A and B are shown apart, each in its own frame.
Chain A
């Protein structure tokens, strides 16, 4: 009940602040199992892409959240679990545990996920090189559709280090799905995926 109210509040807030516009350019919004991967510039990215998805897809799509940041306070933890149904990942590799394990579990359950392959928020205009996670997941789940997405302008809403967001129109552009070719090298695939995201900037 409270989570539902919170989700409605966040949706309203995101719409008032950013317009939460989704542009489906390369594929339609469809209830198939997908990995959405996008550029990462702000904490609000996660909320933005979540709000841009249509209602029916939002419930079966789980964003990835960095455990160290999103469990720091009880409110953050509650929002990420109760509202976003997020999957936590550890950014710092600890011991033997595979950091991708929670994502693998979510995909095995049939959920779609939202991934930021840069790993951390970037400062620059261009996204940083992608980390290997996307490649490993693509290798392991060949049937899951990989959808690139470009989140535009959101870094202006809430730059790193600021706490009060300001209203600026943003959009999420979803592009044509990318496929891992048989025998494709890891680096080559990651660069191609990154290029697919960057190409949406001017789409």
Chain B
């Protein structure tokens, strides 16, 4: 039965396969959402416990985010590469806006900010959309890293020069450089492996394994009685739960081999790389937040409107470029 289904999927065109993937994901989300909705009617047992309601509310928020993300990915895939690139450019734009809002800049940074938002961001996504992958990978780390301090220097303000430029460059790397690798993955083809037009699978692969790793880590850390491993950075980070999360994430990658151009072992290794980059990148962002004195990018008393977008995408922003580079390097595309 399952075998027949699998063979049926193999006979489909790449487009139909991706459509089937979305069909399955949406179906799962509907089932889970209906389940969560029915849970709210429960009256006996744990339902009297306010903590249970809190957990349920937490879970529903997570579910809501998943819906939004899946819909965005679906629109990005269904509407074609141009729309997909624009969509992820918009996400990068809003994430960078949030990052800059919470990392105060000085008046002398204004020109650099204009450069970052209105030149660097569009150029980077244009390079992705037009598959100029060689320039795409070095444009920000090589050229922009020189251009930003130069514009700052021309502005004439030398106070805390290095610190200000580092802040801005970090924002660009995480929000623009990281995010731009998602549409780039969509456009990555492997002709020698008969893997053309299936970039959506690769994006799904990265998002799914990283998200699995993060969720497992999060759940284990919540249940754990052990003190956090790096309390100054994160109250919920444990090396054991991290390792288990990594293991589950990598296994999930292995299970998804059939949608990737990889052999099973390669899929596990690639998933491991993506999970490590994503979860450790998330940890780095936590350290940055702690330094800024904010619990999350979305919650600060005096500046509202920051809706915590960066908290949702930071793991992906770290995982996507590392994954993209490893894949290209390994397959020599």
21 CB contacts below 8 A, A to B, read: A19-B304, A19-B306, A20-B305, A21-B304, A21-B305, A23-B304, A152-B303, A153-B101, A153-B303, A159-B110, A166-B113, A166-B114, A167-B93, A167-B97, A170-B305, A171-B302, A171-B303, A171-B304, A171-B305, A201-B302, A202-B301
* Interface: B100 (CB within 8 A): yes
* Interface: B117 (CB within 8 A): yes
Q: How far is the CB of B112 from chain A (nearest CB, A)?
A: 9
Measured CA separation A169–B103 after assembly (Å): 11
Q: Does A169 contact B305, Cβ atoms closer than 8 Å?
A: yes
Contacts of B48 in A (CB 8 A): none
Measured CA separation A166–B98 after assembly (Å): 12
Q: How many pairs of A and B residues are in contact by the CB < 8 Å rule? A: 51
Binding site secondary structure of chain A: loop
Number of interface residues of A (CB under 8 A): 20
The answer to whether A166 and B305 touch (CB under 8 A), given A159-B107, A159-B110, is no
Fill in one digit per residue for A15-32: 1 if any B CB lies within 8 Å of its CB, else 0: 000111101000000000
Measured CA separation A171–B110 after assembly (Å): 20
Binding site secondary structure of chain B: helix
Measured CA separation A30–B155 after assembly (Å): 45
Most interface-central of A18, A19, A21, A203 (chain B CB within 10 A):
A19
Q: How far is the CB of A156 from chain B (nearest CB, A)?
A: 6
The answer to whether A164 and B305 touch (CB under 8 A), given A153-B101, A156-B105, A159-B107, is no
The answer to whether A169 and B117 touch (CB under 8 A), given A156-B105, A159-B107, A159-B110, is no
Q: Does A168 contact B101, Cβ atoms closer than 8 Å?
A: yes
Measured CA separation A188–B303 after assembly (Å): 30
Q: Does B302 contact A169, Cβ atoms closer than 8 Å?
A: no
Measured CA separation A18–B104 after assembly (Å): 15
9 additional contacts (CB under 8 A) given A167-B100, A201-B302, A202-B302: A19-B97, A19-B304, A21-B304, A152-B302, A166-B100, A166-B110, A166-B117, A167-B96, A170-B305
